[in-house]
Chain A
Amino acid sequence: MRILVVDDEEELVQTVLERLEIRGLTAAGVTSGPAALDVLSQGGFDVALIDVKMPGMGGLDLLREIRRRWPGMAVVLLTGHGSAQLAEEGLGLGASAYLMKPIKLEDLIEALRNAVQSGGVDG
Chain B
Amino acid sequence: MADEPHGGDAGEELLFFGQAAAGLSHELRNALATVQQAAGLLEDYLAAGRAGRAVDPDRFAAVVARVGRAANRGLDQADLLHWLGHTVDRVDRAPEVGEVVRRVVALRQHAARVRRLTLEPRVPARPVTAVAGGTFALAAVVDRCLVRVMERAAEGATLTVTLDEDPGGVVLSVESDGVTGSAERGEDDDALAALAAGLGGGATWDDAPGERVRLVLRIPPAGAGDSAGPPTEPGTSPTER
Contact = CB atoms under 8 A, between A and B. Distances in A.
A97 B216 CA distance: 44
Interface string B21-39: 0100111111011111110
Contacts of A104: 36, 40
Secondary structure at the A interface, as helix, strand, loop or mixed, is loop
Contacts of A56: 116, 155
A103 B33 contact: yes
Contacts of A54: 114
Interface in A75-106: 79-83, 100-105
B22 A81 contact: yes
A64 interface: no
Contacts, number: 70
Interface size class of B (residues with CB under 8 A): 20 to 34
Interface size class of A (residues with CB under 8 A): 20 to 34
Given A55-B114, A56-B155, A100-B29, 10 more contacts: A11-B69, A12-B37, A15-B34, A15-B40, A53-B110, A55-B115, A55-B116, A82-B25, A102-B33, A103-B33
Interface of B: 22, 25-30, 32-38, 40-41, 44, 48, 63, 66, 69-70, 110, 113-116, 155
